Structure 1
Amino acid sequence: MSASHSASEIGLLNAIIYMSLILAAMSLCVIFFLFLKRRAQEKKWSHKARRREFLDRTLRGVLAAPMEPSAASVPGLLKGDEDIVLDMAVDMLRVIRGKDVARIIALLEIWNIREYLRATLMRGGRGRRIRIVTLLAHCQDSESLDLLLEQTATEDPYVQLAALRGVADRKAVDHLSRIVGHLPYSRQRNTLMLADILQRFGEPAVPVLNKLALEPGMPQVRLAAIHSLGAIGSIDAVDALLKLASDTDAELRAQTLAALGRIGDMRAQRHILRGLEDPVDEVRAQSAWAAGLMNLREAMPVLLARLGDSHWWTRYRAAEALFQMGPPGVAMLHAATRTQGSGGEMAVQYLAEKAAA
């Protein structure tokens, strides 16, 4: 019995030893594999660093050279250089202007990276695609503009914004109708950034932006159109905005009144006066701001009452508007400081703020 136990124990012990040796060998193989992988990565990083340094010298040399770059005067690219060149070119284009921009673009054409750009736009990640559309915004040829326009229809809202900015920077107003045609149904949510981009198209874009503001669709896109119309400041936007001044959507209504205030057309007066009595806080606040921008003296009694509004921003905008109306409004504020409650407190606060400025 004991001999049998001894034999089985020896067999088990041998099995454990063999398994331990196998695991140790496997561990050594893994360590060796990781070592080789690390060496390969270090070699790759070292090669990439050398190429980056070389390409940086090349780009800076092109900018400093007395002549335009040509295929004979610049070295060719190696496989894998395209990513490096893209990053370096975009970083440079952010800080250079004029002829230097044209030289960098000419160098990229010599290096023939257009196919790389097109392929990366189709299959690359968000970050690479954004950098590519940023680069394309500095080009002047029709092919690069077509690539930008394609990206304005992408489902990725961040790439779409970058592409829209690129088209706006190239002043491609003729293509604005095509661009905004799908915006009401896009996933775009960044209202302020989209508004900043749309206003870059300037006054020629007003008819298209009017249509975009009036069309049903994503509220954020309509708000961006309204913001941009106010920033552009064209009276050609007033008729469209007046149609929205009584919209059932309170945020659209509020931003429309603010845009009308920025434009300053007196046809908006009755809408702004009505907005000061709106049940929605934001609408009252924006109406007070618009009244100040337009110097609506007819609104002064209502603005004085709004100093005691339940909404802090409405109280502040009312005080601001009265102050902007000059001596009569300032006199009203001084008189309000002698009253009790939130209206008197706001008048004191605003006048103190202006005195300290």
Structure 2
Amino acid sequence: MWRRFGDLGFAALVAVVVTAEAIPLVWLIWVVLGSLGHPQHLAWVLAGGVATAALGLAVITAYLLAYQSVSDHRAALVTEARARWVARWLAVVSGSESAPPAPIGRDAVEALLELREALRGSEADRLLELLRRYGVGSALQDRAHGRRVTRRLHALEDLARARAPEALPTLLGAIIDPDRRIQVAAARAAARTIAAVPEPSRRDELAGTLVAALEAARLPYGVLEEVLLLADEAAPALVAAVLAREGASPAFRRAALDTVARLGLLSFASEVARHLRDPDAEVRAAALRAVARTAVLPPGARDAVREALGDPEAFVRIHAAAAARLLPRKEALERLWDRLGDPSWWVRRAAAESLAELGRAGLGTLGRAAGSHPDRYARDMAAQTLRDRVEDVVEAVAG
């Protein structure tokens, strides 16, 4: 807060100084153009301009030095005060000290929010009770409904740290706000709040509500993926709600499948397999990424991977080549041999890396490809991959 207002003061000071310097400059131009026969006037204007510039620089320099000194001192005081409050709140949570009377100041609230964000389990529950006792959550919700965007964003950020389930209606309403900044901040806060709900059934219910709000907001893929990952323990519930939702947008399906890949959610193997033939190429690629990263390929999904190896989109074939190593060993070697001759460099690279992951058999196939593959680019890729994997080759030969 202090730095924000200090920056505003600095901007105002610079504006005043520049304006003050502009006055003698304008007068100088007037004298030069209209009074060339009066050099004495010109000398006075030049002296005034130089003096004004020097004074302005001196004022700005003094302000910067004073601002830095005061700002550092203020920051040190705030840090010290919050450290004292952190220690006091920890003592309250442990039961060795009684809770302070209401109302509490800003430093106390900030320390309480920091602890609520960092701790888990029974201690976090006790901190949530304290937030409710002092009315922190309700005050933040009131600010989240305000008119000033900056104030609302700060309130949503604090609600994300508070992770209070009673704030979810406010957060869900903010997700469909006309301002995209508010939407994104509210979506992040809602995901973190749902993650703090302990009851699985209640969490599943809230996940469905959040998914509906996110779908209505039409948030971009990157934000959707971030929200799903922020959900932490509630991520599986959100992913399940997305993949089970009829008419979910391609961006949402893609974000859910990439979350499966990043978090290694093996329980969604059948849902991933179902999306291997999705009409949207980006979704097909995301499903193939999930297959490759989780290393789970149901037998019924093998045909889809085989088809993806010949997909017209190169980026789909890249991920299909990565997933093809999960096919039966002999078939995987043959199909990856073929993909070494793909027109796309990236597909050839993915096929070579997949072969290298198949151990001695894959490295042997790369060796044969380096010497006898009919495609010259396939030979080059196989040879380069073997050079990059010298240690693996030596280990395979020695073994």
TM-score with structure 2 length normalisation? Answer: 0.65
Is residue 2:189 matched to residue 1:162? yes
**Superimposed CA distance per residue, residues 217-267 of structure 1 (whole angstroms, 9 cap, x where no aligned partner):** 3x32221122234542225x52x5455333332212221233344332111
Cα distance in 2, alignment partners of residues 286 and 165 from structure 1: 31
* Residue number in structure 2 paired with 1:105: 128
Say yes or no: does 1:348 pair with 2:388: no
Q: Displacement of 1:68 after TM fit?
A: 5.6
CA contact (8 A) 1:289 1:321 kept: yes
**What is the distance in 1 between the residues matched to 2:272 and 2:252?**
15
Looking at both structures, which has the greater relative contact order when contacts are Cα pairs under 8 Å and sequence separation is at least 6? Answer: 1
Which of 145, 156, 159 lines up with 1:122 in the alignment? 145
The question of whether the paired residues in 2 share the 8 Å contact of 1:307 and 1:316 is answered with yes
Partner of 1:20: none
Q: Tell whether 2:167 aligns with 1:132.
A: no
Q: 1:225 to 1:47 in 2, by over 3 A?
A: closer
Cα pair distance change 1:131/1:121, threshold 3 Å: same
Whether contact under 8 Å (2:333, 2:355) holds in the other structure is yes
Structure 2 residue matching 1:264: 3-state secondary structure: coil
Give distance in 2, aligned partners of 1:249 and 1:51.
52
Cα distance change of structure 1 residues 132 and 202 upon mapping to structure 2, 3 Å threshold: closer
Aligned counterpart for 2:275 among listed residues 239, 244, 260 = 244
1:41-94 per-position Cα deviation (integer Å, ceiling 9, x unaligned): x999989976774454133123146526545xx25446xx34x44443333444
Alpha carbons 1:254, 1:286 under 8 Å: kept: yes
Shift of 1:210: 2.0
* 1:31 equivalent in structure 2: none
- Deviation track 1:267-300 (CA, whole Å, cap 9, x = no partner) reads 1101101111112111101111111245554232
> Could you say which structure has the higher helix fraction?
2
Displacement of 1:333: 0.8
Does residue 215 (structure 1) correspond to residue 227 (structure 2)? The answer is no
Q: SS where residue 201 of structure 1 aligns?
A: helix
Q: 1:131 to 1:216 in 2, by over 3 A?
A: closer
Q: Which amino acid aligns with 1:59?
A: V
Cα gap change, 1:184/1:204 in structure 2, threshold over 3 Å: closer, same or farther? closer
Query: Which residue, 289, 293, 307 being the options, matches 1:258?
Result: 289
2:95 to 64, 67, 85: 67
Report sequence identity in percent. 24
Give the AA of the match of 2:386. L
* Residues in 2 aligned to 1:241 and 1:98: alpha-carbon distance in whole angstroms: 32
- Per the alignment, do residues 52 and 303 of structure 1 end up closer, same or farther by CA in structure 2, a change over 3 Å counting? closer
Unpaired runs of at least 5, structure 1: 1-38
Offset, 1:164: 1.6
**Residues 277 and 296 of structure 1, relative CA distance in 2, 3 Å threshold:** farther
Corresponding position of 2:213: 182
Distance 1:45 1:99 in 2: 36
| Count of matched residue positions in the alignment of Structure 1 and Structure 2 | 316
Whether contact under 8 Å (1:152, 1:164) holds in the other structure is: no
Q: 1:276 aligns with which of 309, 322, 331?
A: 309
Contact 2:321–2:336 (Cα < 8 Å) also in 1 = yes
Take 2:252 and 2:157, find their aligned partners in 1: how far apart are those partners?
Answer: 24
Q: In structure 2, which of residues 111, 115, 120 is the aligned counterpart of residue 88 of structure 1?
A: 111
Q: Is the 8 A contact 2:369 2:378 kept in 1?
A: yes
1:356 deviates by: 4.7
The whole-number CA distance in structure 1 between the counterparts of 2:75 and 2:355 is: 63
State TM-score, norm by structure 1: 0.72
What CA RMSD, in Å, does the superposition of the two structures yield over aligned residues?
4.0
Q: Deviations over 1:181-210 (max 9, x none)?
A: 232332422153234246743555564232
Q: Which residue of 1 aligns with 2:370?
A: 337
Q: Distance in 1 between matches of 2:232 and 2:378?
A: 37
Unaligned runs of 5+ in 2: 1-65, 393-399
**Conserved 8 A contact 1:153-1:179:** no
Paired with 2:328 and 2:108, the residues of 1 have a C-alpha distance of: 54
In structure 2, give the amino acid aligned to 1:63. Answer: L
Alignment-mate amino acid for residue 217 of structure 2:
S
Report the AA paired with residue 355 of structure 1: V
Q: Distance in 2 between matches of 1:197 and 1:55?
A: 26
Deviations 1:117-146 (A, max 9, x none): 111221263541342232232x4xx52454
2:319 counterpart of 1:286: yes
Contact between 1:209 and 1:229, CA under 8 Å: does it hold in 2?
Answer: no
- Counterpart residue type for residue 300 of structure 2: R
Letter in 1 for 2:254: L
1:328 aligns with 2:361: yes
Residue of 76, 79, 84 corresponding to 1:57: 84
Aligned partners of 2:209, 2:365: CA distance in 1, in Å?
51
Query: What is aligned with 1:15?
Result: none
1:234 and 2:267 matched: yes
> What amino acid sits opposite 2:219 in the alignment?
Q
What is the match of residue 35 of structure 1? none
Cα 1:119/1:295, change in 2 over 3 Å: farther
Contact 2:342 2:348 in 1 (8 A): yes
